[in-house]
Amino acid sequence: MTDETHVEWRDWGSEAFAEADDRDCPVLLSLSATWCEGCHEMDAVTYAEPRIAANVNEGFVPVRVDVDRHPRVRERYNMGGFPTTAFLTPEGELLTGAGYLDVDGMRQVLESVRQMWAEKGRSAGRVPRALDADLPPRGELTDAVESHLAGQLEVKYDEEHAGWGTDAKFPLPRTVEFALKRDRDRALRTLDAVRDHLADEVAGGFFRFAGTRDWGDVAYEKPLDTNAAVTRAFANAYLYTGDDAYLDPALDAVSFLTDDLWTGYGVGGSLGPGLGRAYYAAPAEDRADLDSPRRDLTVFAGGNALAADALLAVAAYTDDDRAREYAHRILDGLERDLIDADSGEVTRYRGSDEVGESDLLGDTAHVVSAYTRAAGVLGEGATVARAVADRAIDRLHVDGSFVDGPRSGAGLLDRPFRPLDGNVEMATALSDLAALTGDDRYRSVARETAEAFAGATERLGVQVAGYGSLVGRLLRGTTVIAVGDEPGSDLHRAAWRVADHEKVVAPNAHRDGAPSPEAVPEGSAVVLAGDTVSEPAESPDALLKRVAETAE
């Protein structure tokens, strides 16, 4: 029991569900996060109320789960945000649930669940639709997939306030990146709104979302994943525009990532240097009253890999030494503490007294993407990317698409879950890796994965616009600039500055194992677009000319 909540929280696991089975009562599952302000408020107000706590302890088996440490639990039981309060049968099936609950709301829900249990018992439980036995609807990859999602950019766009949707506004960085090549004006207007409303002008970085259509009621959490992905989106916007209005927020975010979230050694339970998971910053006018911001300094593999990817994008487009240095340090830390480079195993996190799960789809996808980017920017990383990709294909690619992790565990963790966003991230990373290495096996798995969801195209919205990017690249091929030179040369730097954020740059292509059908002459570069291979270019100006010729 904690002094703050007076609730006798159990850890997630088979013991808690066995207790619920023995007592013949529901499980109350609380999904929470260190960075979640509403979660802390619910602890301080709702669960701290003695009668609420007593009712919970007497009538339920209360289980507290940190959503960052247990993403598979989060994805199966999330009720639309955090905090989530879900009620489960002893078999892990869902009875009902809600988001934030104040004292009166919790009292009503507890009584409702008690009555439901008394009347129906375990038969009231259900398995969420995403976990049923049906596979995703397969289909053929056609231009219609990309066209549909490009059309959604216009249909769902908020012309008055920018961004997509009419309620809460999220940055949607993958949607912005899809739009940068297909609807640039709306993409840039959305980034303008993110900069004006979600950028922290005091400390740098980006807040998680705005609660209203006009970007008001800001949620002041600054999670690593959000900051990394939005930083990359701003960097990609700068690549197309050359406008400091998009570069400056990215550089401010780099400073936030490498200052405020950098852990050093042994901080927050992490084993090595890296970026902590999240940071809660109060509104600017309230910060003087706080001793320190709330932080979670656990180093997570997927979030750090995503951050390295973003930092490398900034470094590639701008020669920013700080971004390059910290990306290198993150990757070194991941290999030392969380990635087995020989087997390809990725461990989610490793604290002083606990170790996270391994082989989770989200983590492995971000790791493959980051190390593929590192191979293109730094000239090293392809070996790690291949090892992790091979293991993910072997262990997680089941019946044509990827499941989110091992198919075992308490509750509904033994049910396969095939998240579209996770599949898109992994398939995109595999497509990039195929373009970098010339290995068609990765492209084949990426295509099979994309086909696994193509039958549901008409139901897809802007939130998964990255699927359109993936399908477009699989149909047309990824543009590859193979540089017969070392990273950092003028030709290599020029290749990264070509205004196409979906391209792949392969340095050292004059050596064996390059993606080009033939070794690229040393000191030159060629552009591969579909089945076309350009003539060698020996200068940055000539390279830009070759790029333009292949685009015609």
* Residue 292 CB neighbours (<10 A): 6
DSSP string, 145-159: HHHHHHHHHHHTB-T
Predicted confidence at residue 268, as pLDDT, reads 27
For residue 537, give every residue at least 6 positions away whose Cβ sits within 8 Å of its Cβ, in sequence order, or none: 491, 524, 525, 526, 527, 543, 545, 546
Q: State pLDDT tens for residues 389-432.
A: 999 999 999 999 999 999 999 999 999 999 999 999 999 999 99
Place of tokens 């002041």: 220
Q: Where are the alpha helices (DSSP H) in 319-439?
A: 321-337, 361-377, 382-396, 420-437
pLDDT-derived band of residue 5, with 50, 70 and 90 as boundaries? confident
Residue 195 CA: distances (Å) to CA of 103, 191, 192, 199, 252: 36, 6, 5, 5, 11
Q: State pLDDT tens for residues 454-474.
A: 999 999 999 999 999 999 999
Quote the CA–CA distance of 198 and 201 in Å, as a whole number: 9
Tokens of residue 398, six digits:
């089941």
**Cβ distance 442 to 433 under 8 Å?**
yes
Residue 141, amino acid: L
Ramachandran angles phi, psi of 333, nearest 5°: -65, -40
**Cβ distance 31 to 67 under 8 Å?**
yes
Tokens of residue 281, six digits:
């910053």
Quote the CA–CA distance of 482 and 471 in Å, as a whole number: 23
Average pLDDT, the chain: 92
Place of tokens 């060698």: 536
Residue 32 CA: distances (Å) to CA of 77, 357, 358, 457: 12, 18, 21, 33
Q: State pLDDT tens for residues 348-400.
A: 998 777 899 999 999 999 999 999 999 999 999 999 999 999 999 999 999 99
Pairing, β 504-506 against β 480-483: parallel
**Cβ distance 205 to 222 under 8 Å?**
yes
Quote the CA–CA distance of 404 and 418 in Å, as a whole number: 6
Tokens of residue 108, six digits:
């009503």
Residue 175 CA: distances (Å) to CA of 38, 402, 430: 27, 22, 20
List, in sequence order, every residue forming a beta bridge with 505; answer none if it has no partner.
Answer: 481
Q: State pLDDT tens for residues 89-103.
A: 999 999 999 999 999
Quote the CA–CA distance of 547 and 188 in Å, as a whole number: 24
Q: State pLDDT tens for residues 131-183.
A: 866 788 999 999 999 999 999 999 999 999 999 999 999 999 999 999 999 99
Quote the CA–CA distance of 539 and 524 in Å, as a whole number: 7
Ramachandran angles phi, psi of 527, nearest 5°: -110, 125
Q: State pLDDT tens for residues 31-73.
A: 998 888 899 999 999 999 999 999 999 999 999 999 999 999 9
- Kindly state the helix (H) or strand (E) to which residue 15 belongs, with its residue range: helix 14-23
Q: State pLDDT tens for residues 233-287.
A: 999 999 999 999 999 999 999 999 998 888 863 222 233 445 566 565 555 555 4
Predicted confidence at residue 274, as pLDDT, reads 58
